[in-house]
């Protein structure tokens, strides 16, 4: 099998955040596979076949990519952000588990700038101490597990980043998450809502948990919660390196 499969991260949106490694992979690809709105960020080119799919069809998309690579194509699967953070890389390996005959394929993951780090950079350094990243969607895990992780993360005094905080299909869960955080971290804890970071639609605001409203988040928002020491300095928000 001479084909290859690269799972690449396009970063949060700005082309200046796409690594040269990823640009080179896209330039060498015969086929690119991904969610429609991410494919719009790949420069079209003679000889490059584009395979678009719906955002929810991750596993199907991963299988298609493996099949194309097994046929000898140089396939690139595109993710937003980093492919290893709540994105396509795990889906590709899940699909690979079901296809033992393809496990010798040349499969590589190329990292990208993930949304929480782009958002953190925009406001300062809110993740400058120990932190955790939690996907708040309950599509693939029970909501009770999300609540349990929020409690333990607060107990550990981690700064936190939340992906997929709120969707139209489950508007009440994020309100519940904010209540848990308010109870565990107090009203003054800083929370940043970073919407569509580094794109033309970017909107970022930092408030306290007392001021936070569920409507400040949607599926294009990454949410950052500080630890007990996170504070403002000038226009910036940061978490000190030191802890007691």
User: What part of residues 42-61 is at the interface with a second copy (CB under 8 A)?
Assistant: 58
Closest CA to 185 of 204, 221, 159: 159
Question: For residues 35 and 58, is the Cβ–Cβ distance under 8 A?
Answer: no
Segment near a second copy (CB under 8 A), from 169-177, 185-193, 205-213, 233-241? 233-241
Q: How far is the CB of 46 from a second copy (least distance, A)?
A: 24
Segment near a second copy (CB under 8 A), from 70-78, 88-96, 173-181, 186-194? 88-96
Beta bridge pairs of residue 161? 133, 224
∠237-180-171 over CA atoms, to 5°? 90
Between residues 93 and 215, which has the closer beta carbon with respect to a second copy? 93
The verdict on 21 binding a second copy (CB under 8 A) reads yes
Tokens standing for residue 183: 């109870």
> Rounded to whole angstroms, how far apart are CA atoms 175 and 178?
5
Residues in 92-121 at the binding interface with a second copy, rule: CB under 8 A:
92-94, 96-97, 103-104, 107-114, 117-118, 120-121
Between residues 154 and 212, which has the closer beta carbon with respect to a second copy? 154
Q: Which of 125, 175, 180, 204 binds a second copy (CB under 8 A)?
A: 125
The verdict on 240 binding a second copy (CB under 8 A) reads yes
Segment near a second copy (CB under 8 A), from 33-41, 65-73, 87-95, 207-215? 87-95
Q: How far is the CB of 75 from a second copy (least distance, A)?
A: 16
Q: Which of 43, 47, 168, 242 binds a second copy (CB under 8 A)?
A: 242
Q: Give the interface size with a second copy as a residue count (CB under 8 A).
A: 74
Neighbours of 34 (CB within 10 A): 26
∠47-50-54 over CA atoms, to 5°? 180
Neighbours of 213 (CB within 10 A): 11
Residues in 174-213 at the binding interface with a second copy, rule: CB under 8 A:
none
Question: For residues 122 and 113, is the Cβ–Cβ distance under 8 A?
Answer: no
Q: Which residue has the tokens 């929480």?
A: 116
Those residues whose C-beta lies under 8 Å from the C-beta of residue 8, and which sit 6 or more positions away, are 22, 25, 26, 76, 77, 78, 79, 83, 109, 110, 112
Q: Which of 152, 169, 183, 207 binds a second copy (CB under 8 A)?
A: 152
Q: How far is the CB of 145 from a second copy (least distance, A)?
A: 6
**What is the SS3 assignment for 44?**
coil
Between residues 32 and 153, which has the closer beta carbon with respect to a second copy? 153
């Amino acid at each position: 099998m001479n084909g290859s499969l690269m799972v690449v991260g396009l970063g949060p949106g700005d082309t200046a955040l796409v690594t040269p490694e990823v640009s080179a992979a896209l330039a060498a690809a015969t086929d690119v596979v991904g969610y429609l709105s991410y494919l719009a960020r790949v420069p079209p080119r003679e000889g490059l076949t584009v395979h678009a799919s719906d955002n929810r069809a991750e596993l199907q998309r991963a299988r298609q990519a493996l099949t194309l690579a097994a046929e000898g194509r140089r396939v690139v699967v595109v993710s937003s952000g980093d492919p290893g953070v709540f994105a396509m890389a795990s889906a590709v390996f899940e699909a690979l588990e079901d296809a033992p005959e393809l496990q010798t394929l040349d499969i590589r993951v190329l990292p990208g700038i993930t949304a929480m780090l782009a958002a953190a950079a925009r406001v300062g350094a809110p993740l400058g101490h120990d932190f955790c990243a939690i996907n708040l969607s309950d599509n693939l895990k029970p909501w009770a597990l999300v609540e349990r992780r929020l409690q333990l993360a607060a107990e550990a005094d981690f700064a936190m980043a939340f992906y997929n905080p709120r969707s139209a299909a489950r508007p009440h869960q994020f309100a519940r998450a904010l209540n848990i955080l308010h109870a565990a971290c107090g009203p003054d804890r800083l929370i940043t809502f970073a919407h569509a970071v580094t794109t033309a639609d970017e909107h970022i605001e930092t408030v306290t948990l007392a001021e936070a409203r569920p409507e400040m988040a949607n599926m294009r928002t990454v949410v950052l919660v500080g630890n007990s020491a996170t504070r403002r300095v000038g226009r910036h928000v940061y978490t000190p390196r030191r802890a007691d």
